[in-house]
Structure 1
Amino acid sequence: MPVEAPAVATRLSPDSHAISLAAAKSREKVYAPLKILTVVQVLSECGISPEAALAGTGLRIDEVRDPGVRTSVQQLLAVGRNAVRLCPLPELGLNVGRRLHVTSYGLYGYALLCAETMRQGFDLSMRYHGLATPVMPVAFSESDAEGILHLPTHGDVGHLGLSPPEYGFFLDMQFALHATLGKDVMGAWCVPAKAYYALPRPAHAEQIERALECAVVFGHACNELRYPREWLDRAPHMANPITAAQMSQSCERLLQESAWQSGLTRRVYEAITQVPGRFPGIEQVASSLCMTSRTLSRKLAAEGTTYSDLLARLRHALALDYLRTTRLSMDDIAEALGFSDANSFRQAFRRWSGKSPTEYRP
């Protein structure tokens, strides 16, 4: 009987500063609406109207069908939340993920198709994941026998504020889309050797196994898709080294361009976090950005946020990181976050998350 490979410890959760920047970037409208449209289409087949599916996003169905429209991760999250609320099918995330073929990703998808080897395809996938409306961080590693794709646990993406059913929807979607991309790029033979879920066995476990076409272990320490390592040297059926290099350059350019689209929110985060433990007021931040506080407020409103909201989100992200990765006392965390005392911090934390800080301590 073969011995199972041990779980590979790959940290997917970002640090506090990265969390704050990711939160800012999640509001930036830089992504084509392909994933959102796919969720809307799957919901439509369940009898859910596009208007209901898009509630709270500020998007109309004609905009979602327009390749020139740009959307944000937050809008995709909102559509996913609507999906979980409106459609009780436990396999809904799998249905969405199986619809997300390589043709859903534009130049990013074409770059994967043209990669010289499966290994290079994984490398490109990690390098340009930021072009794919990334809800969840992903990572790739190799053991002696396997290539391992790592997906985050619920705790790794706590800053997204997803409920367990919402997280389950997006996790199923991620597992299914990665399995689908593997077959699109390499061929129908390329199915995972095994999958691992860091969740108890759900009611739709058999549907997960059918969707991934492999054995699935539930209740594992990590979320992983594993492939035989010897496959990593195989060439995709459309491999072309010259085109692969061209597509890589195009993806790099797109990634750089997207980094500065709708970027004021991220620039404000950077200004707020320049001095650890000190949070400047809006007047100081506006001055550092060469504008008045009124102009800054107006520009942030156009991006769907406010200075006070950004500051609260930053403090929340930092609080989660302190609680999960340090043994700092509540008094010390309160001081680090600029609160007058631990009680004020506890009250603010409950407003942010609906729970007390001690409930987040591992």
Structure 2
Amino acid sequence: MGDSSEHSVTPLYSQAIVQAAQRQGLVLPAELLAQLRPGQRVPLATQDALWDAFCAASSDPLAGLQLGLEMQIGHLDSVGMLLVTCDTFGEALEELVEYAPVVGDGGEFVLHSEGDQAFIDYQPHLRIRSAERVEAVLASMLSLTRWATGGRFQPSGIWFAHAPLAAPGEYHSLLGCPVHFNAGCNHLGFATDQLALPQIQANSALRDHLRQLADHNLAALGQHSLTADVQRLVRQHPRWGKERVAAELDLSGRHLNRRLGEEGLSFKNLRESVLQQMACRALHSDQRVAEIAEALGFSDEGAFVRAFRRWQGVTPARYKAGDGSAP
């Protein structure tokens, strides 16, 4: 399988892209397809190139969204079967948060609730075709959840951090639920009572077997990834700087930056991305701006306001009062 520390994706997910291209009569570069070897995980850099070639060959700006809606359980490796054999939708989401790296290292999931609403966040760390890939992830989550619950799942909406790639009405037509853009986060929302929805393929004996397989696969991958560990520590300790986070990971600050740099990332950008997501979420609550600024480790409210305006294009007050889009 190569270096277990290399960020990679299950070949089954890459196969979904190739199959979609074949159905649509799209031609992908032969030299790129030659890099996809049966049974071997696909390096994230190759997956980046595959996504770029697929989107470039397609005339549909919503190619990623369409791919997500066509995704099958089998394309998610053993984790796909694990998710659908869970007793409830809520249990499946907990397993998704834990075992998503088996599917791929393109991002991670976080489950949280606000009042009577729950959200499953997708937090990507992608450099190529990020918007299309985020749309594929959330569309597949919506489609497969509807299937797994026998059509009983009713989302309250989908939120995207990016601007629409096509007319917003096209999204609603394809997804069948409210869709929001420029939201500062990427998540699927639903009423908290839907966490108890039973799944039609629930099978506790098979679920336990698949969980053991997922544990084995996760261990073989050397997960969690450094990026995921950094994001987790920043969420838990938003005041921590590079040196404190590095020390927690038994690294020097310089080594941490070098390791992240190999993935095209930097600690500063990674930390700001997490803080942005946390800020947007907090602004949907009853917390005051000054309280949020302090919790996130800013020196004062003014510093937070300046940073937030740089991230979102609006002040925290305008974001809290409106839809989060730039003026």
TM-score range with shorter-chain normalisation?
A: 0.5 to 0.7
Unaligned runs of 5+ in 2: 224-245, 276-309, 312-327
CA offset digits 1:65-112 (Å, max 9, x no partner): x3x233222222221111222323111001211122222223211111
Q: Distance in 2 between matches of 1:108 and 1:200?
A: 30
- Determine the structure 2 residue equivalent to 1:177: 140
Q: 1:232 to 1:278 in 2, by over 3 A?
A: closer
Q: Is the 8 A contact 1:192 1:214 kept in 2?
A: yes
- Determine the structure 2 residue equivalent to 1:296: none
1:254 to 217, 224, 230: 217
Q: Which has the higher contact order (CA 8 A, sep 6+)?
A: 1
Q: Distance in 1 between matches of 2:109 and 2:140?
A: 13
Corresponding position: 1:27 with 2:6: yes
- Determine the structure 2 residue equivalent to 1:203: 166
More deviation in 120-129 or 217-226?
217-226
Q: Distance in 2 between matches of 1:222 and 1:311?
A: 22
CA offset digits 1:222-280 (Å, max 9, x no partner): 222111211111210121233322222221122112228xxxxxxxxx9xx85524559
Q: Distance in 2 between matches of 1:310 and 1:146?
A: 37
Q: Distance in 1 between matches of 2:255 and 2:97?
A: 33
Partner SS for 2:187: strand
Q: 1:149 to 1:72 in 2, by over 3 A?
A: same
Q: Distance in 1 between matches of 2:145 and 2:184?
A: 24
Q: Is the 8 A contact 2:7 2:105 kept in 1?
A: no
1:128: Cα distance to partner? Answer: 0.5
- Determine the structure 1 residue equivalent to 2:180: 217
- Determine the structure 2 residue equivalent to 1:42: 20
Q: 1:324 to 1:235 in 2, by over 3 A?
A: closer
Q: 1:115 to 1:246 in 2, by over 3 A?
A: same
1:123 to 90, 94, 113: 94
Q: Distance in 2 between matches of 1:38 and 1:315?
A: 26
Q: Distance in 2 between matches of 1:314 and 1:50?
A: 25
- Determine the structure 2 residue equivalent to 1:51: 29
Give the TM-score normalised by structure 1. 0.61
Q: Is the 8 A contact 2:62 2:165 kept in 1?
A: no
1:317: Cα distance to partner? Answer: 1.7
Q: Distance in 2 between matches of 1:88 and 1:184?
A: 28
Give the TM-score normalised by structure 2. 0.66
Q: Is the 8 A contact 1:102 1:184 kept in 2?
A: no
- Determine the structure 2 residue equivalent to 1:92: 63
1:320 to 269, 280, 285: 269
Q: Is the 8 A contact 2:65 2:136 kept in 1?
A: yes
Q: Is the 8 A contact 1:186 1:236 kept in 2?
A: yes
Structure 1 stretches of 4+ with a deviation exceeding 6 A read 322-326
- Identity %, equivalent residues: 16
Q: Is the 8 A contact 1:97 1:177 kept in 2?
A: yes
CA offset digits 1:155-182 (Å, max 9, x no partner): x63xx433xxx12211111111111221
Q: Distance in 2 between matches of 1:316 and 1:127?
A: 23
Q: Is the 8 A contact 1:26 1:72 kept in 2?
A: no
Q: 1:129 to 1:277 in 2, by over 3 A?
A: closer
Q: Distance in 1 between matches of 2:119 and 2:140?
A: 15
Letter in 2 for 1:242: A
Q: Distance in 2 between matches of 1:144 and 1:325?
A: 22
Corresponding position: 1:161 with 2:127: yes
Q: Is the 8 A contact 2:161 2:186 kept in 1?
A: yes
1:183: Cα distance to partner? Answer: 1.8
Q: Distance in 2 between matches of 1:226 and 1:311?
A: 31
Q: Is the 8 A contact 1:199 1:218 kept in 2?
A: yes
1:123: Cα distance to partner? Answer: 0.4
Q: Is the 8 A contact 1:42 1:95 kept in 2?
A: no
Alignment: residue pair count: 256
Give the greater-gyration-radius structure (CA): 1
1:234 to 190, 197, 208: 197
Partner SS for 2:217: helix
Corresponding position: 1:148 with 2:97: no
Q: Is the 8 A contact 1:26 1:73 kept in 2?
A: no
- Determine the structure 1 residue equivalent to 2:75: 104
Unaligned runs of 5+ in 1: 1-23, 261-269, 281-308, 327-360
Q: Distance in 2 between matches of 1:278 and 1:217?
A: 39
Tell me how large the CA RMSD over aligned residues is: 3.6
Letter in 2 for 1:177: S
